[in-house]
């Protein structure tokens, strides 16, 4: 019944909030940077993050009030970016870092093992563990924000991961916050439908918040099942947004560009341009289709990962192979787009 309650609440909230935002001309996608207008030129409500936040605040009865403080802080950091109040990427990262440090202080949880003795020795030091966890969450949040720009991509990706860990936990009797995961699944399902038709976007507030909550769940999932679940299962599930961020930084530095400047050279953007030049459909259809293609690209990786969730060697090999394949597709598309 919880899922139905969440679905009805999220549906009602979405219709109400979108109507209000459009009527008042508030929190609409104003395309403050060129990469945001690549696949869509319409002023669509950036309501995905607000809807996701409301669902968590209403239904998730977490005894730690600190968790809700962190959710609100992450959300409002994204809102300040969405309305272009904080336009500097450096300032956004600094605020994210502060909020995540606050989270690690209020709810002490950190990554303490990656099953590599050399690094695990240092991770036993809580300060090193906190710093490594901070680094991973910042990479995940910003990588997810880089992904956001195509319909269904971020929502569909994290919806898939959430379903995978729920399925895995049910089948193998693993520890999981089932209540929170079911709320997320139901909420993201409704957001996905609206995002599919381009009726709402996540915005930075949605991308930040959803990726942070998924990161929070995955860290606790790895902790609670550390004897059974390999930490590289988490890396395999989240490799795409993380590598999207790291590859972007390396690529820009290699080309002697600022790592903080937005561009339209991410993999999903190159794929969008390639598909748009091959098919004579509307921009909205190409947008959603490209989002599907990127998720479809990740599905075999996620499926193989979940079937080997406790095999560190296979998971490492799978993640490395995925990165190599990503690079191959990236440079193939980049060269193809030059010749079109």
Helices (H) and strands (E) in the chain, counts: 13, 0
What is the dihedral sign for C-alpha 156, 159, 161, 167?
negative
Residue 76, Cβ neighbours under 10 Å: how many? Answer: 17
Question: 213-260 pLDDT, tens per residue?
Answer: 999 999 999 999 998 999 999 999 999 999 999 999 989 888 877 777
pLDDT of residue 170: 95
Assess whether pLDDT exceeds 80 at residue 63: no
pLDDT of residue 151: 93
Length of the chain: 340
pLDDT of residue 172: 95
Cβ distance 87 to 32 under 8 Å?
Answer: yes
pLDDT of residue 82: 92
Assess whether pLDDT exceeds 90 at residue 46: yes
To which H or E segment does residue 145 belong? helix 126-147
| Residue 197 pLDDT grade (very low, low, confident, very high; cuts 50, 70, 90) | very high
Q: Give φ, ψ of 28 to 5 degrees.
A: -100, 155
- Contacts with 293 (C-beta within 8 Å, 6 or more apart), sequence order: 271, 275
Residue 108, Cβ neighbours under 10 Å: how many? Answer: 10
CA distance linking residue 305 with residue 228, whole number of Å: 14
What is the rounded average pLDDT for all residues in the chain?
Answer: 90
How many angstroms separate the Cα of 311 from the Cα of each of 177, 231, 316? Answer: 23, 10, 9
To which H or E segment does residue 155 belong? helix 153-172
Local structure of residue 183 (DSSP, 8 states): H
CA distance linking residue 220 with residue 303, whole number of Å: 21
Q: pTM of the prediction?
A: 0.94
Select the highest-mean-pLDDT range: 59-68, 273-282, 298-307.
298-307
């Amino acid at each position: 019944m919880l899922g139905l309650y969440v679905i009805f609440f999220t549906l009602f909230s979405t219709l109400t909030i979108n109507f209000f935002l459009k009527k008042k001309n508030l929190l609409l996608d104003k395309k403050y940077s060129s990469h945001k207008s690549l696949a869509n030129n319409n002023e669509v409500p950036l309501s995905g993050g607000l809807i996701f936040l409301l669902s968590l605040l209403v239904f998730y009865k977490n005894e730690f009030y600190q968790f809700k403080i962190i959710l609100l802080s992450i959300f409002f950091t994204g809102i300040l970016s969405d309305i272009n109040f904080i336009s500097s990427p450096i300032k956004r990262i600094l605020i994210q870092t502060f909020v995540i440090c606050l989270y690690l202080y209020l709810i002490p949880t950190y990554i303490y093992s990656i099953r590599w003795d050399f690094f695990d020795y240092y991770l036993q030091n809580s300060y090193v563990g906190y710093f490594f966890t901070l680094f991973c969450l910042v990479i995940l949040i910003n990588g997810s924000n880089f992904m956001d720009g195509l319909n269904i991509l971020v929502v569909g990706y994290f919806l898939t991961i959430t379903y995978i860990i729920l399925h895995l936990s049910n089948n193998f009797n693993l520890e999981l916050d089932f209540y929170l995961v079911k709320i997320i699944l139901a909420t993201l399902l409704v957001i996905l439908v609206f995002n599919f038709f381009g009726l709402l976007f996540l915005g930075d507030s949605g991308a930040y918040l959803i990726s942070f909550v998924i990161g929070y769940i995955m860290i606790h999932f790895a902790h609670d099942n550390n004897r059974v679940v390999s930490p590289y299962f988490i890396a395999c599930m989240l490799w795409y947004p993380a590598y999207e961020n790291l590859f972007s930084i390396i690529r820009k530095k290699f080309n002697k560009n600022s790592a903080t400047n937005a561009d339209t050279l991410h993999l999903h953007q190159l794929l969008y341009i390639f598909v748009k030049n091959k098919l004579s459909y509307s921009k909205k259809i190409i947008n959603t289709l490209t989002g599907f293609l990127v998720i479809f690209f990740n599905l075999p990786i996620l499926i193989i990962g979940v079937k080997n969730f406790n095999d560190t060697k296979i998971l490492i090999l799978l993640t490395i192979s995925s990165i190599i394949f990503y690079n191959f597709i990236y440079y193939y598309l980049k060269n193809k787009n030059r010749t079109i």
